[in-house]
Structure 1
Amino acid sequence: MINAENIIQHECEATQKNKKKKHLSPKKHKQTDFFIADIFNNLTFQDDIASMEHPLFALKAGDIKTRKYEHNNFNITIAPNAEYGMATIHDKDIWIYCISKLMQAIYEEKEISRTVHFTIYDYLMTTNRGVSGQYYELAKTALERLAGTRITTNIETAKTREAHGFGLVDTWRVVEEKDGRMVRVSVTLPDWLYRSVTSNQVLTISPDYFRLRKPLDRRIYELARKHCGSQKEWKIGLELLLKKTGSSQKLKVFRWSIKSLVTTNELPDYNVTYDLENDIVIFTQKQKPTK
């Protein structure tokens, strides 16, 4: 089975000659023509707040272990698909893309539904992926994992809390050409997620999120964006941050991961500092460059 994280990891290792740049991958697609520029400029990337707060997605490929997470009276059980494993945070890019398309349609006052239609090429381009055949197949496998991963939770969305189970994607459909190449995709989102979108329970995220190589970095960015937001800073104990990421790392290994982020300063939008004496991680907004 083609594994998205393995391919991404191999690409990362091949481009890590510059040790100062090891968290962000290069931009795969430069906006050199009007078509590409139109894709990038017209879509503001957005993520739903509930999944930014709670670890619904696996940080390792091939995870087949049912996980349980409890925090502040919220309970989550995540059960993977037996064949494809648990949906990963890289698979979540499909969620983010669909949310962003829906929010764009709402802004343009267009009619929306839980089913989102898009071309696979646009998705690959905007999420900083390659556009060769293997990436089309990876997207298809990601849809399988999203549909097969089952969530049982009492997370609140749109001021409604209910205990129920759902797949991360209800249904999906791919239209292929005669040569087998995927062209158009239709994804039906779970009602839980759709309710978050229609009630505007979403936050914008940086396009550079898709350039973050490591799944843990993506998860840390989500938490920083959710909690720091427009505030001057957000402080959190290292052990609590580890729990909120959903990572299975040992605390000492996680501490090293944070120190690496501090050293490179490559987390989009936020500076990361680590208070060794108090074992606290501090996120502060980066100053936007002046033109």
Structure 2
Amino acid sequence: MASKKLNLRSRKAFAELSLHDKNAYLQEVAGLIMAVRGEDPPELDKDALARLRRYYSRRSMADLRLNEMGGPLRRAFESLADGIRSDEVLTLLKHELPAARRSAAFSRPAPIGDAQRMFFVPSVHDVPLKDDFNLMDIAPFALSKSGGAGVIRYELKDSIITVEGGAEVGLATAYDYDIVINMTSHLAEATRRFRIDEAKGLKPSIPPQVYRPAAAEILKFCRRELGGKQYEDLERALARLQATNIRITNLKGDRRGWDRRSTESFPLIGRYKVVSRTNRDRIDQVEIDIPGWVYEGVVRPDGKPTILTLNPDYFLLSRPITRFIYRLARRAAGDTTAFYSLKELHKRSGAKAPMRKFRQTIEEIVETAKTTPLPDYDLNLEDRGHDQILHMRKRNKSLPAEKDLAAIA
């Protein structure tokens, strides 16, 4: 069955409609999205329609200098502006519509205004991987949304990895770990600029090992709303990250077959400090010491940082287990394919659920990924009798002009 496509009207075409026709068109688009869900079309109220009309008609950054342009450049910027606007209108529509009745859904809508912002931020990178620090092969965070107390122990073929949280604040969560990604991305961008200036014969300063962002910058980068709860969560996340410690014992055999063990321990972030607060007592400016294992992995003498690029939609994955699967696919499959047995996945995820429940969760994720794909990778389960195998395959890139209704819904 071919997937249904949705082409939104341009801002100019929308502006030419009467108020009645604008409302009717927005109701029609909402009905198409709900039809894909298999649900009855909603009746948008006056406030919702007013918000949608306002977002549809507003100018984006790409619109600002269109009057000074001509030829192909103008057409390119008009297309960019309409693309940004389409994404924002669809995002707002998803906020206005009833939540989809899909228990296994693993993505949340992007925050309003997010589509325009993503054109003007640095590339998103994952944490650096030192020679044998394969943190993307396991979950260096709790799979529960609240973190909780306890210790996660991974016994792999060549190493034993222990993740231990603080006694008072518990383990870092998958969402806390977004701050590590943000911190590493900032350092990678600063290092890139440093190398460029160095190659020009200038004498730039090496990137500092202290990161001083505004709380709002972190939230925007991680594609989150800017509400009061998000600021409170951010402060608690810093405490959990600083208290969560990773201990890696590498198992290496010598020529006589004896095991030689080397152990290293490090926190997910170093010291942090809330530098300033707003008038509402919200966290404002923060200061984070970048731990040595991150700093040395990015700011390397040979100019080749050991980092991997993440899809920005990683931040929209709402289930910690899907974040673990995406990270594992990015590390193991790369631009090709990889596969793991569910028994091995269960071991590497640190999941507390019994194997039966874990298998059911993976089956739900694979089924949901048929209509709401995981970023970059296609998933497939193969039954081998004694165990099931999860295949993770890099998806061919495509940039369709039309919006896939199944993905929107």
TM-score range, shorter chain: 0.7 to 0.9
Larger radius of gyration: 2
User: Which one scores higher on RCO, CA 8 angstroms, separation ≥ 6?
Assistant: 1
Match of 2:236 in 1: 141
Instruction: Quote the offset at 1:55 in angstroms.
Output: 2.6
Matches of 1:77 and 1:15, distance apart in 2: 42
More helix by share: 2
Residues 237-276 of structure 1 aligned to structure 2 (within 5 Å): 237-265=341-369, 266-276=373-383
Instruction: Quote the offset at 1:237 in angstroms.
Output: 1.1
Letter of the 2:182 counterpart = Y
Match of 1:19 in 2: 102
Match of 1:171 in 2: 271
Aligned CA distance change for structure 1 residues 164 and 41 (closer, same or farther; 3 Å): same
> What secondary structure is seen at the aligned counterpart in 2 of 1:56?
coil
RMSD: 2.4
1:30 aligns with 2:113: yes
Residues 43-82 of structure 1 aligned to structure 2 (within 5 Å): 43-48=122-127, 49=129, 50-60=134-144, 61-82=146-167
Matches of 1:20 and 1:221, distance apart in 2: 19
Of 207, 210, 225, the residue aligned with 1:112 is: 207
Tell me the TM-score normalised to structure 1 length. 0.85
Instruction: Quote the offset at 1:83 in angstroms.
Output: 1.1
Matches of 1:92 and 1:290, distance apart in 2: 29
Residues 229-240 of structure 1 aligned to structure 2 (within 5 Å): 229-231=334-336, 233-240=337-344
* Misfit runs of 4+, over 3 Å: none
Match of 1:3 in 2: none
Could you tell me whether the CA contact under 8 Å between 1:67 and 1:77 is conserved in 2? yes
Structure 2 regions of 5+ residues with no counterpart? 1-94, 195-203, 252-260, 401-409
Matches of 1:57 and 1:247, distance apart in 2: 10
Instruction: Quote the offset at 1:147 in angstroms.
Output: 0.9
Could you tell me whether the CA contact under 8 Å between 1:29 and 1:125 is conserved in 2? no
Residues 1-20 of structure 1 aligned to structure 2 (within 5 Å): 16-19=99-102
Letter of the 1:230 counterpart = D
* Identical amino acids, percent of aligned pairs: 28
Matches of 2:115 and 2:348, distance apart in 1: 39
CA shift digits 1:198-222 (9 cap, x unpaired): 2411100011111001011101110
Match of 1:284 in 2: 393
| Comparing 82-91 and 72-81, the one that deviates more | 72-81
Instruction: Quote the offset at 1:269 in angstroms.
Output: 0.6
Instruction: Quote the offset at 1:190 in angstroms.
Output: 1.7
Tell me the TM-score normalised to structure 2 length. 0.61
1:207 aligns with 2:312: yes
Structure 1 regions of 5+ residues with no counterpart? 1-11
1:195 aligns with 2:300: no
